[in-house]
Structure 1
Amino acid sequence: MTGEDSDESVVRRDRFSGGPARGFLSSLAADERIFAADLAVDRAHVVMLAERDIVDAEVAGAILSALESVEADGHGGLPGGEDVHEAIETAVIERIGPDGGKMHTARSRNDEVATCIRHRLREDVLETLEATLALREALCAVAAANLETTMPGYTHLQPAQPTTVAHWALSYEAAIGRDTERLLETYARVNRSPLGAAAFAGTTFDIDRERTASLLGFDGVLENSMDAASARDFALETTSALSVLATTVSGLAEDVILFANRGFLDLADDYSSTSSIMPQKKNPDTLELARAVAGDAAGGVGGLTTTLKGLPRAYNRDLQRATPHVWRTVDAVSEATRVAAGAVATADWNVDDLAAEAGAGFSTATGVADLLAANGLPFRTAHEVVAEAAERGADYDALESAAQDVLGDSLAAFVDPAAVEAALDPAASVASRDSLGGPAPTAVEAALERAETTLETDSGRVAERRDALAAALETLEAEVSAYV
C-alpha cells in the first residue's frame, strides 16, 4: 500500500474476505498475545514514516491518536480480520478514514508479524530468565544453610557415596546457571528487528530501519530482507533452550520427589496436595507437573522443527502454525521453573534422617579404597579388599577379615586403623573430598561464593536488558506524544 485504498484495492480485499475457510485462516484470537506488541510496532513505524516525510505529520498524528483509541478498547474491541495486524489497521481506518491505511506504507504483514513475535518473545525470555535466577537463589540459600549436612549420594538410585545437601544443591545451581547463559545468548538473537523488510524484498520508500529498531528497543536489524521476513530460527533456538531448561528442572523435581518419599525433606503445603479419599496423603503434585513439563517442551521443539523443516524462502502461511509451539513452551517452562524455585525455597530438610542414611549401603567404601591406595596398595587390589569386606559388613572388622583373605596380612600392616575408622565415617569421608568441585564443606563454601557472584552478575545482565526496553518505550512514548 502507498496510502489511500483505491477502488480496485477495496474490491480486491472484499473478494478475499469471505468463504468457508476464513475461520481456518484467521489467527485473530491467538494473536491477543501480540496485541500490545503490534501497537508498539505500529507506533514506531508511523513515527519513522513521519520523520522521513513519507507520511504527513498531521496524518501521522491522526493515526497515532486512533491507535490510542484502539488500545483503550482492547483486543476484544477489534473488528474481524485474518489476524491482529489487519484488524488493527481496519480499526484505525474506521476511526479516521482512508488515511488510516497510510500506516501500512513501506511494510508488509510479513515483516510486521515477525517483528511482533520477537517483540513479545523477548519479554517472555526475560521472564523465564528471572525464573532461573529465582531458582538459583533458592538453591544457593539451601547450600548456605547446609554446608555440613551430610546425605546419601546415589548412582543408579543405589547408595553410592556420602555427600552434602549443599553439594547437591549447587550441582543444580550450576546446571540452571548454564540454562541462564543459554537464554541470555538466545535473547541477543531474538532482539533484532525485521521491520522494514516488507514482504521479503524490501521497499522503494526511503525508510530508516535502524530508527524503528531503536524506538522498539531492538539491539539492531536483520539486514537481509528475505531472511528478516521469513526466518524463525530465533523461535526454534528459544524453544530448544527452554527444552534444555525444562529437562534440568525435571531432574531437580524428580530428586525432590524422591527425597520427600524417603523422608529426607518435607515440602511446604503450598507445593503439595492431598488425596480425595486417603486423608493421610501429602503428595508432591506440583513437582510432578514440573517434571512433566520437559515432555511438553520436547514436544514444542519437535512440533516447531517439523513445521519449519523444508519451508522455502520467503514467507509461507505454515509459519502461522509455528508460533503457538513457542508460546506454549515458554509459558509452561517459565511456570515450572518458578514452581520449582518455590518448592526448593520452602522445603524443610530433615538433617538427622539425612545424616543417618548418609552411610547406608557402605557408601564410604570408595573412601576406604582410596585410603588403602594412598598407602601403597594398587587401587585395583584395594578395590578387591573393600569389595570383599562389603559382603561381610560395613565396619573395621569386615575390612580386617577381608584383608587377611586377600592380602594375607592384617589391615594394620598397610594403614593406620584410626585412619580407616575415620574413612568409614560419612562426615569425615565427605570432609576428605576437598578437591575442586568436591563435597567437602571447604570446597563447597568456595563454590558457593563463586555461584553467588555469578548469580549477581547474571541478575545485573537481565536487569540491564529490562532497563534498555523500558528506556526505549519511554523514548517511543515521547516521540508519539509529539504527534498526538
Structure 2
Amino acid sequence: MTDSEGHDGAGESGDEGVVRRERFSGGPAREFLSSLSADERIFAADLAVDRAHVVMLAEQGIVGDETAGEILRALDEIEDAGHSSLPDGEDVHEAIETAVIDRVGPEGGRMHTARSRNDEVATCIRCRLREDALDLIETVVEAREQMLEVAAAHDETVMPGYTHLQPAQPTTVGHWLCSYESALARDTARLLDTYERINQSPLGGAAFAGTPFDIDRERTADLLGFNGLVENAMDGASARDFLVETTAAVTGLATTLSGLAEDMVTFANRGHVEIADEYASTSSIMPQKKNPDTLELVRGRTGDTTAGLNGLLTTLKGLPRAYNRDLQRAGSHAWDAIDSVTASTEVAVGAVVTAEWPEEELAEAAGDGFSTATGVADRLAQAGLPFRTAHEVVARAGETADPGIDAIEDAVEAELGQSLDDVADREAIEAALDPVESVRMRDSRGGPAPETLCAHLDRARDNLDEDQSALADRRDSLAAAESTLDSEVDTYV
C-alpha cells in the first residue's frame, strides 16, 4: 500500500495530501524568511557599504585593483537599475551580491571577503537611520523656528491659562507657544545625542568574532562618515540599543506633539482658536461642524509609536548574544515610528502656526473663573501679609458672586478686621484684577510678562541657532564622506 493510499483510507484524497505536504515543503518558509521587499529602505545604504568595503579591500591588497573596479562598476549598474531589478534573495545584501556575480562572474564574490551579513546589515541600518534622524531633527528645528515667530507676534495676546482644565491664571499665546517650543528643544537635544550613538561603525566585525584578514576598520568607518567604531565585534553584530534609543526619543517627541494637539483641540472647542481649513474637516452629515481631525490623528499616532517602542523592546528582550534572526523584525519599529512622527510634527506645528487667535475673545475669557486671584494674593503678600493669609482673604472673595474689588475689601475686613486701604494699595489690588496687568506683573524669568517673554525668545533663538549649526555640521560631515568615497571609487572604475 502506498502512502497516498494509506491517507485515502483515513478519509483524505491523494491530492489533499500533496497540498498539505507542499505547505511544509520550504516554499512558504523561504518567503517567510525574506526581507527583500522591506529592505528597499536600506538599498542605497547597502551599496555605499559595499563600495567602502571593496575600496578598503583593494587598499589592503586583499582584492586586486582590477577585480575591485569590476565589482564597483557592477554596483553602479545595480544602483542605476534600482531595487526593483534585483534578483530574488533572502535579503537585499544577498540579492546585491548575486547581481554583482551575475555581472562579474565568480570574482564578484570577493566583495564579501572579511565580512558577514551580520556586520553588513548592522552597518546599513545605522547608515540609513542616521539620515532619517537628521531629517526628523531638521523638521523639528524648522517647526521650532516657526513657533518662535508666532510667539513673538503674540507676546501680548492675553489668553486664559488652565490647570486641571479649570481657569487658573491669565497668560499669553506667546508664553503658551514657548512652553511647547522649549519641550521640542529638549526633544531635539535627545535626537542629537542619539545620533552620536547611531553613528558608530560595526563594519569589519564579521559574524561576531572578527576576521583573520588584515582589514582596516577605521578606513571604512571614515569612508562612510562614521565618527568611530563599535569596537567589540560581537557587540557590533548584535547590538540594537541604538534602535531603542532612537525609538524612545521619537516616542518622547510624539508625546510632546500629542500634548500640543490636545491643547489645540481643547482651545478650538472653547472658541479660543480658529484652526485653518487645511487642518480641519467637516462632518459627513452635520454641515455646521468643523473638526480638528488632523490634530486628533496626531494624538492617535502617538499610540502607534508607543506600541512600536514596546514591540521593539519585546523583540530584543532575552536574546542571546551575537546575531539572531529576531533582529530582522527590529528595524521596522524604528522606521515606522520615525516616519509617523516626522509627519505628525509637520501637521501639528502647521496647524498651530496657521491658526488664528481671536484676541478680543481670548482677552475676555482670560479673567474667567476669577483667574486673577493669584495676582491679587501676590499683591497683598507684597504689601506685607503672609501669603497664606492673603490666600485665605482672596479665597473668601472668590466665594462671592462678583469677586471684584468690593468683594476683596469685604474679605479683608472679615478676615483681618481692617480696611483694604490699611493693608495694601487699593489701586495696585484693583490693577491686579485685570488679566493684562496680571500677566505684566509676572515678570520673573520664565513668566509671561511681555518683556520677560522677549528675553526668553532671544535665548530660545540662540539655542535654535546652535541646533541648526549642529545639524549642518552633521550633514556636512556625511556629505564630505560621501564625496571622498566617490573619489576613491573613481580611482578603480
What TM-score do the two structures reach when normalised by structure 2? 0.93
Q: Which amino acid aligns with 1:446?
A: A
1:116 aligned to which of 118, 124, 129: 124
The alpha-carbon deviation at position 18 of structure 1 amounts to: 5.1
- 1:471 equivalenced with 2:480 (yes/no): yes
- 1:171 equivalenced with 2:163 (yes/no): no
The alpha-carbon deviation at position 280 of structure 1 amounts to: 2.1
Q: Does the Cα contact within 8 Å between 1:135 and 1:340 map onto a contact in 2? A: no
Q: Does the Cα contact within 8 Å between 1:64 and 1:483 map onto a contact in 2? A: yes
- 1:423 equivalenced with 2:432 (yes/no): yes
Partners of 1:382 and 1:319 in 2: CA distance: 62
Partners of 2:168 and 2:63 in 1: CA distance: 72
Q: Which amino acid aligns with 1:436?
A: R
- 1:74 equivalenced with 2:70 (yes/no): no
2:143 aligned to which of 135, 141, 159: 135
Partners of 1:293 and 1:395 in 2: CA distance: 45
The alpha-carbon deviation at position 279 of structure 1 amounts to: 2.0
Please name the residue that 1:11 is paired with.
none
Please name the residue that 1:6 is paired with.
none
Superposition pairs for residues 213-292 of structure 1, below 5 Å?
Answer: 213-292=221-300
- 1:199 equivalenced with 2:207 (yes/no): yes
- 1:95 equivalenced with 2:103 (yes/no): yes
Percent identity of the aligned residues? 67
Q: Secondary structure at the match of 1:361?
A: helix
The alpha-carbon deviation at position 19 of structure 1 amounts to: 4.1
Partners of 1:234 and 1:312 in 2: CA distance: 17
Please name the residue that 1:458 is paired with.
467
- 1:24 equivalenced with 2:32 (yes/no): yes
Please name the residue that 2:16 is paired with.
none
Q: Does the Cα contact within 8 Å between 1:134 and 1:341 map onto a contact in 2? A: no
1:182 aligned to which of 186, 190, 197: 190
1:412 aligned to which of 416, 421, 426: 421
Moved more, 341-350 or 114-123: 341-350
2:380 aligned to which of 372, 387, 392: 372
Q: Secondary structure at the match of 1:265?
A: coil
Q: Secondary structure at the match of 1:195?
A: coil
Please name the residue that 2:369 is paired with.
361
Q: Which amino acid aligns with 1:286?
A: T
Please name the residue that 1:394 is paired with.
403
What's the Cα RMSD here?
Answer: 1.1
Please name the residue that 2:9 is paired with.
none
- 1:435 equivalenced with 2:444 (yes/no): yes
Partners of 1:459 and 1:149 in 2: CA distance: 29
Partners of 1:426 and 1:345 in 2: CA distance: 24
Partners of 1:109 and 1:332 in 2: CA distance: 29
Partners of 1:18 and 1:59 in 2: CA distance: 36
Partners of 1:60 and 1:143 in 2: CA distance: 57
What TM-score do the two structures reach when normalised by structure 1? 0.95
- 1:403 equivalenced with 2:412 (yes/no): yes
Q: Which amino acid aligns with 1:461?
A: A
List per-residue Cα deviations over 1:109-134 (Å, max 9, x = no partner): 00000000000000110011011112
List per-residue Cα deviations over 1:393-415 (Å, max 9, x = no partner): 22011112222222222222201
Please name the residue that 1:40 is paired with.
48
List per-residue Cα deviations over 1:132-186 (Å, max 9, x = no partner): 1122112101111011111100000000001111111111111100000000000
- The unaligned stretches of length 5 or more in structure 1 are 1-16
Q: Which amino acid aligns with 2:462?
A: T
Please name the residue that 1:54 is paired with.
62
Q: Secondary structure at the match of 1:438?
A: coil
Q: Secondary structure at the match of 2:63?
A: coil
The alpha-carbon deviation at position 442 of structure 1 amounts to: 1.0
The alpha-carbon deviation at position 474 of structure 1 amounts to: 1.0
Partners of 2:232 and 2:128 in 1: CA distance: 22
Partners of 1:305 and 1:112 in 2: CA distance: 22
Please name the residue that 2:341 is paired with.
333
Q: Does the Cα contact within 8 Å between 1:34 and 1:120 map onto a contact in 2? A: yes
Partners of 1:270 and 1:89 in 2: CA distance: 47
Q: Secondary structure at the match of 2:159?
A: strand
- 1:155 equivalenced with 2:163 (yes/no): yes
Partners of 2:138 and 2:304 in 1: CA distance: 21
Partners of 2:125 and 2:38 in 1: CA distance: 12
Q: Which amino acid aligns with 1:216?
A: L
The alpha-carbon deviation at position 61 of structure 1 amounts to: 0.7
The alpha-carbon deviation at position 352 of structure 1 amounts to: 1.1
- 1:342 equivalenced with 2:350 (yes/no): yes
Partners of 2:425 and 2:67 in 1: CA distance: 92
List per-residue Cα deviations over 1:266-316 (Å, max 9, x = no partner): 112221122222222221111111122221111111111111111111111
Moved more, 65-74 or 269-278: 269-278
Q: Which amino acid aligns with 2:332?
A: P
List per-residue Cα deviations over 1:21-74 (Å, max 9, x = no partner): 111111111101001100110011011111111001111111111111111111
Q: Does the Cα contact within 8 Å between 1:160 and 1:363 map onto a contact in 2? A: yes
Q: Secondary structure at the match of 2:186?
A: helix
Q: Secondary structure at the match of 1:348?
A: coil
Please name the residue that 2:303 is paired with.
295
